[in-house]
Amino acid sequence: MKKLKNILYIALFSLLAVSCEDNTDSITNPGELSPLPQEVKVSFTDDHATSSPYEGETMTYRLEMPFAITGTVDVTIAVSSSDGTVEADYPTSITFVDGQSAVYFDVTPTDDGVVEDETYTIAITDVSFSNDNYFAWTGANSRVMGVRDIPTPIVTTAGDFVFNFTWSGSSDLDCRLVDNPPAFQYDTGYTTSPGETVTLVDGVPDGDYLFRVRPWTVTDSSIDYAIEVVAPTETRNYTGTFLDLVGGWSMEFVVLEINKATSGATVTYTLNQL
């Protein structure tokens, strides 16, 4: 009887051992798993987050990936305008070729013959890969361009050249006219009343001059300004906005660059607003 028990135990253990064996024929082999797509960031990496070129002036932008990949990457570029119409030369598509991690492209605003303030936004609108192992994530995906009109000279006669400077709010902003590079001060507007007037008198020699602003008291973070430029035969206006000024004459900056050139009885002033 004892021997029979041992035989039964041995048979039972044998069955358990067989049932625990890995029967590979009963397992379906799924094959190798496909790798997950890798994220690749495509973004602007130049120093032109904001720029202010003149019409006809070219800005160069850089698109970059953190590493080169196998295959090509096509990036779609779109340019929009604050006035709804874009007058510029630019590519609509940029391609990274196999092994390339950075590409450059140009945007050149063109002269539309209209005096106006325009702002262009240059943006990445789509990224596609020839290799399915990658997908795009855009980092810094846009740039802002404030387009400036080509300066039109003021052609006039001999006489004083006057600058009437006004601004919004109750800040006290001062100004002065100096030569360029600064060595001599030609006139100052340092009154405490709102608004300042400075004059480049008739007798100053031909050359380069600067209209500079020196904030004395600042009460607003955003200040709209206007400079009325009065020549003997013409008046022209320049407007803009100052942001985050600091008072106490602790800062000074150029608003207008001025060039004077005389030919006989004709005096030509070319002004560049910064």
Output the average pLDDT for the chain.
87
Confidence at residue 213, expressed as pLDDT on a 0 to 100 scale? 97
Position 32 confidence tier, pLDDT thresholds 50, 70, 90: low
With bands split at pLDDT 50, 70 and 90, how would you rate the model's confidence at 108? Answer: very high
- What confidence score (pLDDT) does residue 37 get? 80
**Cβ(259)–Cβ(265) below 8 Å:** no
The pLDDT-based confidence of 142 (bands split at 50, 70, 90) is: very high
* Same fold across 38-147 and 154-273: yes
Mean pLDDT, rounded, for 88-103? 95
CATH level 3 topology of 38-147: Immunoglobulin-like (2.60.40)
Domain ranges of the chain: 38-147, 154-273
User: Comparing 29-38, 42-51, 231-240, which segment has the lowest mean pLDDT?
Assistant: 29-38
- Please state the rounded mean pLDDT for residues 92-120: 89
Question: What pLDDT is recorded for position 24?
Answer: 46
What token pair was written down for 246? 């600091």
What are the two backbone dihedrals, phi and then psi, of residue 156, each rounded to the nearest 5 degrees?
A: -145, -165
Quick one: what percent of the chain has pLDDT higher than 70?
Answer: 86
Q: What is the pLDDT of residue 65?
A: 93
As a 3-state breakdown, the chain gives helix, strand, coil percent values, each rounded to 5, of 10, 50, 40
Which of 3-7, 137-141, 162-166 is predicted most confidently?
Answer: 162-166
Sheet holding 88-89, edge to edge: 88-89, 102-109, 59-64, 38-44, 134-138
Neighbours of 271 (CB within 10 A): 20
The CATH number of the structural domain formed by 154-273 is 2.60.40
Q: Each residue of 171-207: pLDDT tens digit? A: 999 999 999 998 999 999 999 878 999 999 998 999 9
Q: What is the pLDDT of residues 221-272, one digit of tens each?
A: 999 999 999 999 999 999 888 999 999 999 999 999 999 999 999 999 999 8
Q: How far apart are CA 100 and CA 130, in angstroms?
A: 14
